[in-house]
């Protein structure tokens, strides 16, 4: 393990996070100066000071050897996200908005991992700067703090592909151009531009439609959509706005942020054929539309207006499949058939290379293709059959990693549900709480449904769920490898 290189890069991450925290600090200061009830700016000044001081100390001396291998990449990623969540919780505690540190840690981990699970009930009463920080963690975590560092920090790019691989959701990280730093920069620009477009559409569209949603709400809602997180400034989530226009706009943008960002680059470079040939995108669209249509048919009898049933169905499907977690309907009250579909969508998730969570559509497709190949192989034992994706043969290493990932995912799920069950909630609550956190969804069913929260879980359960959120966002390995003795052996 190259400890000096790891600490140096962690120092860079601390400096970036401290700089980003200046935004909510400025908002707190602005509202204070203008006489509005607001959390003390000290709530942000303390963690900013800690982050910048630690960052400058760790980066004072650049290591002579900058050799970074896979395990260094995983450790940087795992420790970076863990410490980021731990220090990002301080504004909640110092301001008194969330007095319990474990609860604040849970809320912040949920923010950075874009899960959207919350322990809060009276969200609307929180100070503006805290609401901003809460949703801004979604935006930071959406594309990843390490990817941001690679994109903007000079000389932090030596072995950056190994770092980016540890953080990017999906079976593998791919480059849109030859240099990984340029790839990260391009993807972040696309991410930023789509976020700005969403803010503009929400604000201008609501003015035209007469809904008059505040600009602040448009900004933080766009942050939560972009990161596929789902934190809202209202207790009733998006339902509280009572705005069909807003719901349809968010449905579209939730879908868009669930798409592999590489495909947007292909569109910009006029590689339209590559976009529509992408099997994962076709699978994402097919599953999305099929689920929405089936749920609409299943719940239509519960609604007096079919257009509302269609809107709630499409919104909920995109919210769950993109792993955003916004709510416009209490799907706890929907028929079992619809709830089962939503649980399946929670597990599948969206596209690799997006800001969303879940197993990813491409893994689901590869798993199905592997099963079909096994059936064909059983019927024709002497034939050679390969799994193919996007007209290319998938190598055995990728398929082996897929199998390992699914096995670890199932073990993590089972162990987590077992530990959560000690709280003696009903089985649906325990199971969907873990599913919601491990797949970075947010809401589950029953106690943790759209109208509930995670406040009543024990400290042990919250720690387990924090682990699940971080493990799910980082594709399991970076967090799990922190507990392996081999990881910490010094590289010769």
**pLDDT tens per residue, range 368-415:** 999 999 888 888 887 878 888 888 888 888 888 889 999 999 999 999
**Residue 156, in any domain of the structure:** yes
Contact 91, 43 (CB under 8 A): yes
**Residue 105, in any domain of the structure:** yes
- Burial (CB count within 10 angstroms: exposed 0-12, middle 13-18, buried 19+), residue 173: buried
pLDDT at 377 (0 to 100): 85
Number of residues in the chain: 492
pLDDT at 157 (0 to 100): 45
End-to-end CA distance of the chain: 8
pLDDT at 133 (0 to 100): 96
**Rounded Cα gap, residues 221 and 118, in angstroms:** 16
**Residue 92, in any domain of the structure:** yes
Nearest one of 350, 158, 390 to 261, comparing CA atoms: 350
**Rounded Cα gap, residues 131 and 24, in angstroms:** 9
Residues 6+ apart with CB under 8 A from 223: 135, 136, 138, 139, 195, 229
Nearest one of 456, 470, 252, 284 to 360, comparing CA atoms: 284
pLDDT at 378 (0 to 100): 87
Give CB contacts under 8 A, 24+ apart, made by 69-72: 69/2, 69/159, 69/162, 69/491, 70/162, 70/165, 70/166, 71/1, 71/481, 71/486, 71/487, 72/1, 72/2, 72/5, 72/6, 72/159, 72/162, 72/491
**Residue 486, in any domain of the structure:** no
**Rounded Cα gap, residues 468 and 480, in angstroms:** 10
**Residue 170, in any domain of the structure:** yes
Partnered with residue 392 across adjacent β-strands are: 389
Contact 298, 337 (CB under 8 A): yes
Residues of the chain with pLDDT under 50: 154-158, 173
Give CB contacts under 8 A, 24+ apart, made by 282-291: 283/361, 283/362, 283/364, 283/365, 284/258, 284/259, 284/321, 284/350, 284/351, 284/361, 287/321, 287/345, 287/348, 287/361, 288/255, 288/317, 288/318, 288/321, 291/317, 291/321, 291/341, 291/344, 291/345
Q: Give the CA count within 13 Å in the CB-facing half-sphere of 198.
A: 30
Nearest one of 432, 218, 429 to 346, comparing CA atoms: 432
Positive or negative: CA dihedral 83, 86, 87, 88: positive
**Rounded Cα gap, residues 442 and 420, in angstroms:** 16
**Rounded Cα gap, residues 414 and 401, in angstroms:** 20
pLDDT at 212 (0 to 100): 76
- Burial (CB count within 10 angstroms: exposed 0-12, middle 13-18, buried 19+), residue 135: buried
User: pLDDT digit string (tens) for 189-225?
Assistant: 999 999 999 999 999 998 888 887 899 999 999 999 9
**Rounded Cα gap, residues 142 and 395, in angstroms:** 29
**Residue 108, in any domain of the structure:** yes
Positive or negative: CA dihedral 266, 267, 272, 275: positive
Contact 105, 119 (CB under 8 A): no
**Residue 128, in any domain of the structure:** yes
Q: Which domain holds residue 88?
A: 3-256
- Burial (CB count within 10 angstroms: exposed 0-12, middle 13-18, buried 19+), residue 252: middle
pLDDT at 234 (0 to 100): 92
Number of domains composing the chain: 1
Backbone angles phi, psi at 235, to 5 degrees: -65, -35
pLDDT at 41 (0 to 100): 80
**Residue 365, in any domain of the structure:** no
Integer angstrom CA distances of residue 297 from 42, 195, 311, 335, 458: 52, 33, 12, 11, 39
**Rounded Cα gap, residues 253 and 193, in angstroms:** 12
pLDDT at 151 (0 to 100): 59
Q: Give the CA count within 13 Å in the CB-facing half-sphere of 427.
A: 1
């Amino acid at each position: 393990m190259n400890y000096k290189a790891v600490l140096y890069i962690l120092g860079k991450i601390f400096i970036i996070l401290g700089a980003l925290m200046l935004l909510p600090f400025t908002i707190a200061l602005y509202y204070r100066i203008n006489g509005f009830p607001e959390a003390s700016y000290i709530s942000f000044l303390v963690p900013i000071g800690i982050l910048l001081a630690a960052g400058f100390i760790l980066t004072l001396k650049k290591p002579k050897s900058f050799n970074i291998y896979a395990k260094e990449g995983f450790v940087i990623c795992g420790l970076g996200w863990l410490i980021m969540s731990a220090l990002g919780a301080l504004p909640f505690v110092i301001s008194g908005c969330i007095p319990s540190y474990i609860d604040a840690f849970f809320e912040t981990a949920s923010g950075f991992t874009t899960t959207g699970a919350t322990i809060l009930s009276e969200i609307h009463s929180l100070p503006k700067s805290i609401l901003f920080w809460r949703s801004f963690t979604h935006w930071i975590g959406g594309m990843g703090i390490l990817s941001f560092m690679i994109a903007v920090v000079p000389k932090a790019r030596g072995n950056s592909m190994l770092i980016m691989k540890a953080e990017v959701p999906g079976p593998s990280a791919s480059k849109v151009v030859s240099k990984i730093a340029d790839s990260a920069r391009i993807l972040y620009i696309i991410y930023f531009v789509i976020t700005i477009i969403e803010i503009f559409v929400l604000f201008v569209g609501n003015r035209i439609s007469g809904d008059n949603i505040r600009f602040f709400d448009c900004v933080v809602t766009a942050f939560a959509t972009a990161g596929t997180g789902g934190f809202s400034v209202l207790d009733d989530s998006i339902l509280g706005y009572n705005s069909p226009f807003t719901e349809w706009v968010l449905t579209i943008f939730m879908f868009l942020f669930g798409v592999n960002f590489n495909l947007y680059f292909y569109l910009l470079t006029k590689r339209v054929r590559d976009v529509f040939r992408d099997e994962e995108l076709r699978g994402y669209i097919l599953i999305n539309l099929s689920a929405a249509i089936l749920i609409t048919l299943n719940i239509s009898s519960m609604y007096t207006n079919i257009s509302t049933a269609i809107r709630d169905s499409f919104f909920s499907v995109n919210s769950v499949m993109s792993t955003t977690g916004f709510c416009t309907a209490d799907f706890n009250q929907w028929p079992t058939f619809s709830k089962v579909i939503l649980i399946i969508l929670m597990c599948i998730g969206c596209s690799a290379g997006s800001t969303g969570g879940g197993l990813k559509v491409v893994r689901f497709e590869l798993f199905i293709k592997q099963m079909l190949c096994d059936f064909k192989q059983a019927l024709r034992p002497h034939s050679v059959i390969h799994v193919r994706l996007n007209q290319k043969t998938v190598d055995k290493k990728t398929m082996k990693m897929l199998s390992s990932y699914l096995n670890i995912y199932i073990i993590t799920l089972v162990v987590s549900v077992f530990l959560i069950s000690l709280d003696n909630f009903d089985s649906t609550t325990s199971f969907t709480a873990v599913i919601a956190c491990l797949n970075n969804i947010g809401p589950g069913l029953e106690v943790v449904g759209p109208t509930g929260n995670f406040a009543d879980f024990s400290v042990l359960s919250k720690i387990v769920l924090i682990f699940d959120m971080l493990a799910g966002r980082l594709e399991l390995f970076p967090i799990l490898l922190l507990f392996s003795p081999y990881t910490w052996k010094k590289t010769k």
